[in-house]
Amino acid sequence: MLTSPVQGVLLLAGATGALGQEVLRRCAAVGPVQVLSRAAAAGAPQRLGLLPVGGEDPDQWPPAPVALRRAVVLFERPRPGEPRDALAWSPSPGQLPALARWLHRNGCTELALVLPHARGRLPEALKHGLASLDEQLVAGLGFERLLILRTARQPDDTSGLSPPEKLAAAMLSIFKYMVPSHEQPVQPATVAAFLLAALALAPRGIHVAAPELLWRAARGDPQAVVRDWLRLG
């Protein structure tokens, strides 16, 4: 049985898409959650609060009205026509450093990032460590605990593309068969279960989960995979 990953309020940024909603559902089941949103809304569940942001630049946001300790940041695309996704504020990858700075200024000491991974494009060594300057900047802020989960990115939606663009996307999709199975996307439920286990079990420090760990979790017990990853016995 997992212990609660939430001691106090957990802040969730990017509660959009299937993954965002699954993470939100699971986190709200074990403790109070604040969701970064584009506006306030009445009628939110008791264990779920909305924290409106002050525009698109986190460096310009005012201090948070609640004490922050733990935060989860997802980079899920909002689903068109989904009211919940339209309400939630979802960061772009380029906003990560500014968002991390705002979180750190507001007392956040534990940060979990679920980052989309471009399959087959990241050198093996970087899958298990800091892979970009932005990630290095976040790590340098001094969070007591930093979790980075790399998840294989789902294929882009081609419904809004022109016929030539759809043809180009179809031709590029041929190469998906060259991507190893352990770098293929897994279900949101697996990612969310792995994330909550990591929040509950990870000690202080920086911990990076490569995509193949999520693949292993999808075919076994996510908590057992997390314990093995963290060498907890």
In order, the DSSP letters of 172-211 are HHGGGGGS-GGGS---HHHHHHHHHHHHHH--SEEEEE-H
Among candidate residues 188, 199, 111, the one with its CA nearest the CA of residue 153: 188
Q: pTM score, two decimals?
A: 0.80
Q: What is the pLDDT of residues 24-39, one digit of tens each?
A: 999 999 888 999 998 7
Residue 159: inside a domain: yes
- How far CA 74 is from CA of 42, 58, 159, 203, in Å, comes to 24, 15, 23, 21
- pLDDT value for 143: 97
Q: Which range of residues forms the domain containing residue 81?
A: 10-229
Q: Cβ-count burial of 172 within 10 angstroms (0-12 exposed, 13-18 middle, 19+ buried)?
A: exposed
Q: Which comes out higher in pLDDT, residue 31 or 196?
A: 196
Tokens 């772009």 belong to residue? 92
Residue 199: inside a domain: yes
Structurally, how many domains does the chain consist of? 1
Q: What is the pLDDT of residues 127-160, one digit of tens each?
A: 556 778 999 999 999 999 999 999 875 544 445 5
Q: Cβ-count burial of 24 within 10 angstroms (0-12 exposed, 13-18 middle, 19+ buried)?
A: buried
- Which range (55-59, 85-89, 177-181) has the least confidence? 177-181
In order, the DSSP letters of 112-127 are EEEEEE-TT-S-HHHH
Residue 4: inside a domain: no
Residue 51: inside a domain: yes
SS3 157: coil
The CATH number of the domain holding residue 105 is: 3.40.50.720
Q: What is the pLDDT of residues 65-113, one digit of tens each?
A: 888 899 999 998 888 888 888 889 999 989 999 999 999 999 999 999 9
- Is 77 in contact with 89 (CB distance < 8 Å)? no
